[in-house]
Amino acid sequence: PKNPVLRRVQELAQLSKQLQRVHPNVLAKALKRGILYQNEEIVVINKPYGLPVHGGPGVQNCISNVLSILAKMLDGMKAEPLHLCHRLDKETTGVMVLARDEDTAHRLQSLFKVCQVEKCYWAISVGLPVPSEGLVDIPIVEKKVQSHQSHYKMTLAPNYRVSPEDGKMVKVRQNRDADSAVTRYRVLASSASCSLLELKPITGVKHQLRVHLAYGLGCPILGDHKYAHWSKLAPQKLPENTLKRLGLEQAKVRHLPLHLHASRLTLPAGASGGQQLQLDCRPPHFFTNSLQRLKLEIPDVPKKKAHPLVTVSAC
């Protein structure tokens, strides 16, 4: 396409498809190039956009399928396969921790499960949350959407609702299938009907950040077409000034990728070595390009360095 935005979007889509089709050795080499940090216990990678962590219907390549190949590239032919410690959605980019052995994996998985690992994400949202900083504490449950194209989505299961009779808050019966979900958020920059947010999930429910932003704050993540509408699967509707700055027509919005990036993980002392480990990763090119077009100022991220509080970043 002659339009530079459409060209970049098409390149991103092609890259995602290529990662699905390449030989596992090629994919492992790509992940190796994206290593942010490694020691005798863990390997930390910069997860690419569009690459699933686990296999499934229609998935030809995924991270879990090449962990043994990546381990051999790093430590020789006798190396034990690397182990997953947590997961990221297919469309989410950023910091991802792998363990070199099963004991380390179990220890880190337990820390993630009991919320001892501090996670920080960047997201571009459509709209400005009010207030600009706060905490969303609303349980989440999976429900079937009844429409011409039935599908499942995560949604809110609040413990309170507004009474239509007198407008007062009343407690409702708790949904037994709902999971507790808590997210801290902070606006870092705002412009042109969009905002750059820092998100810190306290819990780890499926699609938690996407649901809390879209349904809890009314500010869905840019490119999140799944949660753009409740009753249908359709491309996200963007304001005119946002479309203008991105150089897009509404008819082409369906190509826009999800702008959600795992920017930082902080492992507590003793999780891997004796010191606290902080891992930072700058967002991918399409994310920073959108920030520039929307005139959202990019916060500073430390350059790669090592000290008692180990901080690692990637551009």
Q: What is the 3-state secondary structure (H, E, C) of 235-286?
A: CCCCCHHHHHHHCCCHHHHHHCCCCEEEEEEEECCCCCCCCCEEEECCCCHH
Residue 103 catalytic? Answer: no
State CA 109 to chain mean position distance: 18
Q: Which tokens go with 174?
A: 């708790």
Which ranges of 65-165 would DSSP assign to H, the alpha helix?
67-75, 102-113
Q: How far is CA 293 from CA 86, 192, 193, 195, 228, in A?
A: 33, 10, 12, 12, 22
Q: Using the 8-state DSSP alphabet, how is residue 48 labeled?
A: P
d(CA 151, CA 204): 22
d(CA 45, CA 43): 7
Residue 137's φ and ψ, nearest 5 degrees, are -125, 80
Q: Which of 89, 101, 137, 179 is catalytic?
A: 89
Residue 151's φ and ψ, nearest 5 degrees, are -155, 170
Q: Which residues are catalytic?
A: 89
